[in-house]
Amino acid sequence: MFHKRLQQFVLVYAAGVLSLILMKYLLHLSDYVIPGPLEIWHTVLSVFVRYLWNVADTLWIAVLGHLISIFLAFAIGVAGRRASWIGSLIRAAAYNIQAYPMVAVAPIIFILLGDGLLARLLIAVMICYFPLLLSVISILSEPVDSVEHFYEATGRMNWRLQVRIRAYENIHKLTTVIVGSATMAMVGTIVAEFVAADAGIGYSIRIALYQSDLSKILAALFLIGISTSLYLTALEWAGDVVERKFQV
Amino acid sequence: MNRIGKIIGILGIAGYVLLSVRGYCDDAVTYRLKWLFNASVAGDLYADAQGVFTAHKLDVTVKEGGPERDAIKELELGYAQFGVASADQVIRAVSMGSPIVVIAQLFQKNPLHWVYRSGKIAINSPLDFKGKTIGVTYGGNDETIMRALMARFGLAKGSVNLYSVRYDYTPFYEGKVDLWPVYINAQGVIIREKLEKSGEKVAFFSPDAFGVRFVANSVITSRKLLDEKPELVNRFRQALIEGWQEAMAPGNAEKTIAVLRQFDKDTPLTTVREQLAETRPLIQPGSEKDIGQIDVAAWEQTEHIMLDQKLIPGPVHIAQILKGNLKTD
């Protein structure tokens, strides 16, 4: 699975880099605007190991943030699934907070948590959690009439049973949502590092941008792509395992 | 069908004539600034809003800059004909083969300073940095300037604690950082106002005063445009310098403030007034220097600093791309 995803990513990435290089030579652009292939290669060699560590640093925060987001989204999603005023309030809060630009919220987070690991984690969770929550609410608020009707008619329905039925019947949708939100966790962590941290690949990209060094940015994007592919493959595998277990 | 064809033909001819007349009257160029609209671009905005460009038969579209904007790239891609870039950007670009030239230097003194609480610490020279926590933007020109100062005054790496700064000033307000990099004529004014309101005294450390003359914003264009249309480049430079001269004249202060307020509606009037007052000595520190004059020695020092810090792979002989001797009369 990873092999296939990796091949696809490398293909897309190579196509992107080749079009940039083509544009460079067609428009006679200097290495400052678009670096040449040799320049890119030398930069990749010089920053590869350092950036690999940076990406690993980003990835573990993204994974941790994603796990926290999943836990929170399910915990609050269970409460928010009902058409009550609490459910409506949670949905409204989710939509509003999702609309806030992180650069505006970041200073408040720094005041509360400083600028270390916690701030990075919180920003990652904030970016990943709300889309996940809305999907979970949407899935868990959809009644499975064919099954639920029986328990309701016999008076045996309670909220735990309702959640279990809906989760079981929508297990594929839920695993797809979780896998999909992994990219949001990665994006959230990189954004957090860009605005709030002094570690991780987002921070390295920020420095490369200050130095107008596209080669470094291309190297960083390559490693981000590889690590995201790796994480998505791991999640897809875990999702398959869970689905198979439920089917049994 | 025939009628429609005629109408399209007439419209086409009319459009061509209109465009030709416009082209005959005014040369249309785009001018990309380095940063957002504020006092640092007062002369650029003044030249636009007060018709100085038009008086020189120039139709200039002044475009706001920002953190992700790069005038050098826009020149190469043909999105702009003139732009503003800092010296380190220019030197880095030239070292990578970018065909640009510098036609004017806007800031004679770099506006980058470090603000500190003068009631708590005394900074009389860079030697007083020892043991202090100093904010720098890693990868930014403030890091380069701070490292140049440290090297010049023999400060070992471990003798100061460098702190990575970002967009917000919370660590400085909270007192975690002793010195924070600011543009004295922009955020510097705002931070001073805030801290003085809360009864704290602030002062600014100027690297320029201790011999580090790292050049800031300068006006650039492409070598191709200079070779093909030197008259246009000359006319643009002349109009721009006139704009800056008028904007910086103390007698025109109210007019300049009105122009700035037209473009920057969020900054309070009193702040704009102070920002303008702080901008004047940076653009024209004394009568010995003309507005727009290129300080070749400072450019060469900037190149040496970048070479020393291995920010460029080799010398770029920067004096060769400084074209400040265009006619201004």
Question: Who wins on pLDDT, A25 or B170?
Answer: A25
CATH number at residue A65: 1.10.3720.10
**Same domain, yes or no: B49 and B123:** no
What is the H or E stretch that residue B217 is in? strand B217-222
pLDDT at B327: 54
**Same domain, yes or no: B167 and B232:** no
Domains in chain A, number: 1
pLDDT at A248: 47
According to DSSP, the β-strands at B112-117 and B179-183 are antiparallel
Q: Calculate the alpha carbon distances from A31 to A36, A212, B32, B99, B312 in Å.
A: 6, 11, 21, 11, 13
Write the pLDDT tens digit of every residue in B29-61.
999 999 889 999 999 999 999 999 999 999 999
Average pLDDT over residues A127-134: 84
> Are B140 and A195 inside 8 Å of each other by CB?
no
Average pLDDT over residues B237-251: 95
- A84 in the Ramachandran plot: left (φ > 0), alpha (ψ -120 to 50) or beta? beta
**Same domain, yes or no: B171 and B304:** no
Average pLDDT over residues B172-201: 92
Q: In angstroms, rounded to a whole number, what is the distance separating the alpha carbons of residues B40 and B93?
A: 23
> What is the tally of helices (H) and strands (E) in chain A?
10, 0
**Same domain, yes or no: B116 and B105:** no
Of B68, B73, B166, the CB nearest to A33: B73
Q: Does the pLDDT value for residue B16 go beyond 60?
A: no
Q: In angstroms, rounded to a whole number, what is the distance separating the alpha carbons of residues A62 and A88?
A: 29
Q: Which residue type, as a one-letter code, is found at position B37?
A: F
Kindly report the average pLDDT of chain A as a whole number.
85
Domains in chain B, number: 2
Q: Does the pLDDT value for residue B184 go beyond 90?
A: yes
Write the pLDDT tens digit of every residue in A27-37.
999 999 999 99
A47 at B interface, C-beta within 8 A: no
pLDDT at B68: 76
CA distance to partner chain A, nearest, from residue B91 (Å): 11
User: A105: which chain B residues are within 8 Å (Cβ-Cβ)?
Assistant: none
- Say how far residue A96 (Cα) sits from the centre of its chain: 19
Among candidate residues A98, A109, A124, A101, the one with its CA nearest the CA of residue A200: A124
pLDDT at B117: 95
User: A110: which chain B residues are within 8 Å (Cβ-Cβ)?
Assistant: 168, 170-171
Residue B287 lies in a domain: yes
Work out the percent of chain A whose per-residue pLDDT is above 70: 96
Band of the pLDDT at A125, cuts 50, 70, 90? confident
Q: Does the pLDDT value for residue A232 go beyond 60?
A: yes
Write the pLDDT tens digit of every residue in B120-174.
999 999 999 999 999 999 888 999 999 999 999 999 988 999 998 877 788 898 8
Least-confidence region, from A59-68, A189-198, A209-218: A189-198
User: B138: which chain A residues are within 8 Å (Cβ-Cβ)?
Assistant: 198, 207, 210
Most B CBs within 10 Å: which of A30, A54, A194, as the mutation test of the B interface?
A: A30
Residue B328 lies in a domain: no
The answer to whether residues B114 and B179 touch, using CB atoms and an 8 Å cutoff, is: yes
Non-local (6+) Cβ contacts of B202 within 8 A are: B115, B116, B117, B118, B191, B192, B195, B196
Which chain B residue is nearest to residue A111, measuring alpha carbons?
Answer: B170
User: A106: which chain B residues are within 8 Å (Cβ-Cβ)?
Assistant: 166-168
pLDDT at B22: 46
Which chain A residue is nearest to residue B163, measuring alpha carbons?
Answer: A198
Among candidate residues A102, A66, A86, the one with its CA nearest the CA of residue A137: A86
Write the pLDDT tens digit of every residue in A139-149.
888 888 888 88
Q: Give the CA count within 13 Å in the CB-facing half-sphere of B35.
A: 15
**Same domain, yes or no: B53 and B77:** yes
pLDDT at A141: 82
Q: In angstroms, rounded to a whole number, what is the distance separating the alpha carbons of residues B222 and A33?
A: 14
Identify the residue whose tokens are 């005063």: B209
User: B168: which chain A residues are within 8 Å (Cβ-Cβ)?
Assistant: 106-107, 110
> Are A211 and B96 inside 8 Å of each other by CB?
no
CATH number at residue B89: 3.40.190.10
**Same domain, yes or no: B231 and B205:** no
Q: Does the pLDDT value for residue B205 go beyond 70?
A: yes
**Same domain, yes or no: B221 and B190:** no
**Same domain, yes or no: B97 and B221:** yes
Q: Which residue type, as a one-letter code, is found at position B145?
A: I
* ipTM for the assembly: 0.78
pLDDT at A140: 83
Question: Using only C-alpha atoms, what is the Rg of chain A?
Answer: 22
Residue B327 lies in a domain: no
**Same domain, yes or no: B90 and B11:** yes
Select from B186, B210, B234 the last residue of a domain.
Answer: B210
**Same domain, yes or no: B227 and B283:** yes
Average pLDDT over residues A183-189: 89
pLDDT at B11: 64
**Same domain, yes or no: B117 and B232:** no
Select from B210, B234, B263 the last residue of a domain.
Answer: B210
- Say how far residue B277 (Cα) sits from the centre of its chain: 16
Question: Who wins on pLDDT, A11 or A83?
Answer: A11
Q: Does the pLDDT value for residue B288 go beyond 80?
A: no
* B→A interface, C-beta within 8 Å: 67-68, 70, 72-73, 76-77, 89, 92-93, 96-99, 137-140, 164, 166-168, 170-171, 311
**Domain that includes residue A32, residue range:** 2-247
**Domain that includes residue B158, residue range:** 112-210
Select from B168, B188, B210 the last residue of a domain.
Answer: B210
SS3 assignment for B77-127: HCCCCEEEEEHHHHHHHHHCCCCEEEEEECCCCCCEEEEEECCCCCCCCHH
Write the pLDDT tens digit of every residue in B54-112.
999 999 999 999 877 899 999 999 999 999 999 999 999 999 999 999 999 999 999 99
Residue B151 lies in a domain: yes
